[in-house]
Copies of this chain bind each other. A is one copy, B any other.
Amino acid sequence: MSWSKSGGEAPRGYHHGNLKETLVRAALDLIGQKGPGGFTFAEAARAAGVSPAAPYRHFKDRDDLMAEVARRGFTAFADALETAWDKGRPDPRVALERLGRAYLAFARTEPAYYAAMFEANVPADATPELRAEGDRAFGALRTAAEAVAASLPSRPPALMLALHIWSLAHGIADLFGRGDKARRSLPMAPEDLLEAGVLIYLQGLGADPR
């Protein structure tokens, strides 16, 4: 049942028909296999079955493709965080924990995206779209921080709270959270490490110790 070129080696004419999309997927595959440094423009072209020059019709250069992968990563990331937050239901603290787990789950299940987003040395504002999606991801965290801050008696500044949680989550993800690529092994699940950290942190801000 291969009537289209989705997935397989469909013969094609002079024009590919879906090169841009194919290249992005190939790039994602390659990044997943060999890291953001190992991915080459030429190999992505080979994977798509086109000449080495063809990708230049769709991306300015190698970095531009990388930025597009990162942008899609941030889109998926922001979506995941917003979904996990679910408007703070049933209450901000529970929702925050869900958000933290979603953060680490993304790093774990989408290491290729995560690498393109945070390890490929793509400038945060390589393109306006990239900047926008990155802001949206951080916005999800920021929104959560605001709700949690408002629920605490000490009323801490929401931005600070967001930055602390983001940094902790990112640090854990970068150091321990990527399967076999992790820098060190851990005596517990990264998710649990993060949950414990956030819990302690919130208690430090005066949350009731449940």
The residues of A with any CB-CB pair to B shorter than 8 Å are: 35-37, 118-119, 121, 124, 138, 156, 159-160, 163-164, 166-172, 174-176, 183-184, 186-187, 193, 196-197, 199-205
Contact = CB atoms under 8 A, between A and B. Distances in A.
Contacts of A166: 171, 175
Nearest to A188: B160
A200 B167 contact: no
Given A187-B159, A204-B201, A164 B138 contact: no
B200 A204 contact: yes
A171 B163 CA distance: 10
A164 B160 contact: no
A193 B171 contact: no
Contact of A119 (B119, B138, B204): B119
Contact of A171 (B167, B200, B204): B167
A37 to B, nearest CB: 6
B119 A164 contact: no
A62 to B, nearest CB: 11
A137 B174 CA distance: 17
A160 B121 contact: no
Contacts of A176: 163, 167
A168 B164 contact: yes
A173 B24 CA distance: 30
Contacts of A168: 164, 167-168, 171, 197
B170 A175 contact: yes
21 contacts: A36-B121, A37-B121, A118-B174, A119-B119, A159-B187, A163-B193, A164-B193, A164-B197, A164-B200, A166-B171, A168-B168, A168-B171, A170-B171, A170-B174, A171-B174, A197-B201, A199-B204, A200-B201, A200-B205, A201-B201, A203-B204
Nearest to A161: B200
Contact of A204 (B124, B159, B167, B202): B202
A118 B200 CA distance: 27
